Amino acid sequence: MEFKHFSVMLNETIDGLNIKPDGIYLDGTLGGAGHSSEIAKRLTDGGFLYGVDQDEDAIKFASERLEPFKDRVEIIRCNYKDAISVLKEKGVKGLDGILLDLGVSSYQLDTVERGFSYKYDTDLDMRMDNREKLTAKDIVNTYSLAELSRIIRDYGEDKFAQNIAKHIVNARAEKPIETTFELNEIIKAAIPMKMRATGGHPSKRTFQAIRIECNHELDVLRDSLDEMIDFLNPGGRIAIITFHSLEDRIVKTIFKKNEDPCVCPKNFPVCVCGNVSKGFQVNKKPILPSEEELNENSRSKSAKLRVFERK
């Protein structure tokens, strides 16, 4: 199967990165290499791009797609949370741009055996890195009622989280929950029929929540951004595309903290805490997909792009 991934807000992201031909760049979520190939095209002999992904299939496809730029691209298999430490080990001193596209690729969603989608009947997996031990099946069958309720409520933002969690716990007492369609039926039974008729697919939010938990997506994002901002050269930019409110809130909060880190009481005439701004948000409000893009790719409808520039 071809690794398909529509590069969300491609032009807006490339513009936001403000690429220097001789700059050093990191694509921390390489995926189908759509953004990376555009970055690589703009680099001259002095420029270089490091492409990082934890997904084995993405690495294979991106290596082929970026073959024409192999003299200025290096591909590394790791989670983006480890990217800066890996680059430091390689002797890199700083970056002129960092890109994170936090969406799940169309390939991942549509490859049946990966178990990301509620549309296909397959084993519950959802790992972005198949070297990791924890799977969606483990979460569904071993997490406590309270833990399941919390992740479905917090990561899926589902108002029926408690009831869905109860139905999961009751069902697995009879037999382990093995497949996506088994989980679908359990979720469906937990949501009132009139809500199922109007609220989109009943499993969408729960599958999102389990995927986020399985891959520690929000923790990785929260724990990586300060280090990435610190590793930018003066004038360097980090561009992040998020796909749901929890991700966007983390990015917005961390960008704001790095722009205005002062913790002095508002009534202090001058700052005495010593915290110095590291840069600024290039756009105060997130950039959204164009109407044209929304018509081409419905999966981009929840995307938001935020860009931060280092002082």
Mean pLDDT, range 221-248, rounded to an integer: 97
Q: Is residue 250's pLDDT more than 90? A: yes
Report field, pTM of the whole predicted structure over 0.75 = yes
Per-residue pLDDT band at 107 (split at 50, 70, 90): confident
Query: What is the pLDDT, as a whole number, of residue 253?
Result: 98
Per-residue pLDDT band at 20 (split at 50, 70, 90): very high
- Residue range 172-195, pLDDT digits in tens: 999 999 999 999 999 999 998 877
Query: What is the pLDDT, as a whole number, of residue 197?
Result: 66
- For residues 55 and 111, what is the distance between their CA atoms, to the nearest angstrom? 13
What 3-state class would DSSP assign to 279? Answer: strand
Q: Which residue has the higher pLDDT, 196 or 146?
A: 146
- Domain 112-215, what fold? DNA polymerase; domain 1 (1.10.150)
Query: What is the pLDDT, as a whole number, of residue 53?
Result: 95
Per-residue pLDDT band at 111 (split at 50, 70, 90): confident
Q: Is residue 143's pLDDT more than 80? A: yes
Query: What is the pLDDT, as a whole number, of residue 156?
Result: 94
Q: Is residue 69's pLDDT more than 80? A: yes
Q: Is residue 3's pLDDT more than 70? A: no
- For residues 114 and 98, what is the distance between their CA atoms, to the nearest angstrom? 28
Does 3.40.50.150 match the CATH number of domain 10-107+217-310?
yes
Please, what is the end-to-end C-alpha distance for the chain in angstroms?
A: 44
Query: What is the pLDDT, as a whole number, of residue 157?
Result: 92
Query: What is the pLDDT, as a whole number, of residue 95?
Result: 98
Mean pLDDT, range 132-139, rounded to an integer: 98
Q: What residues does 279 pair with on adjacent strands?
A: 310
Q: Structure tokens of 121? A: 């009947």
Query: What is the pLDDT, as a whole number, of residue 200?
Result: 77
Per-residue pLDDT band at 298 (split at 50, 70, 90): confident
- Chain region(s) in the chain for CATH 3.40.50.150: 10-107+217-310
| Residue with token string 């961390």 | 254
Query: What is the pLDDT, as a whole number, of residue 5?
Result: 56
Q: Is residue 288's pLDDT more than 90? A: yes
CB neighbours of residue 135 within 10 Å: 18
Query: What is the pLDDT, as a whole number, of residue 106?
Result: 74
| Mean pLDDT rounded to a whole number for the chain | 94
Per-residue pLDDT band at 167 (split at 50, 70, 90): very high
Query: What is the pLDDT, as a whole number, of residue 34?
Result: 93
DSSP state of 105: P
71-78 long-range contacts, Cβ below 8 Å, gap at least 24? 72/40, 72/43, 72/45, 72/47, 72/48, 73/36, 73/40, 73/48, 73/49, 74/48, 74/49, 74/50, 75/30, 75/50, 75/51, 76/50, 76/51, 76/52, 77/52, 77/53, 78/52, 78/54
Q: Which residue has the higher pLDDT, 202 or 16?
A: 16
- Chain region(s) in the chain for CATH 1.10.150.170: 112-215
Per-residue pLDDT band at 209 (split at 50, 70, 90): very high
Per-residue pLDDT band at 99 (split at 50, 70, 90): very high
Query: What is the pLDDT, as a whole number, of residue 108?
Result: 79
Mean pLDDT, range 73-100, rounded to an integer: 98
Mean pLDDT, range 268-291, rounded to an integer: 95
